[in-house]
Structure 1
């Protein structure tokens, strides 16, 4: 069983942003850092500011470009 857990953990760290750090917004509103992480990038002040502008213009629908 622990081998399975390790492989799951390894798979999650192979991705740009581990699944455990992402959420769909159903439990709380999407914030700019969330939008940056959804794009597969690490948050930087510049990226967070750009995401803030996108969220102001498009609202929560901005998330739909990254989620299926």
Structure 2
């Protein structure tokens, strides 16, 4: 008999979309902004500094 408790816990975890890789352009667009070079650079910094939480705060 196998223990599927870890699998059941994963199924109950809400998915935010932050589990997947995000590009700076994705972050800028998720905020409803045009991806200008300046915004893309800022998004690169935020993704590097904050990781997945950057997209969790901005994506609806």
Q: TM-score surpassing 0.5? A: yes
TM-score norm. by structure 2 comes to 0.63
TM-score norm. by structure 1 comes to 0.56
Higher relative contact order (CA 8 A, sep 6+): 2
Gaps in structure 1 of 5+ consecutive residues: 1-23
Structure with higher Rg: it is 2
State the aligned residue count.
44
More helix by share: 1
Structure 1 segments of 4+ aligned residues over 6 angstroms from their partners:
none
Gaps in structure 2 of 5+ consecutive residues: 1-16
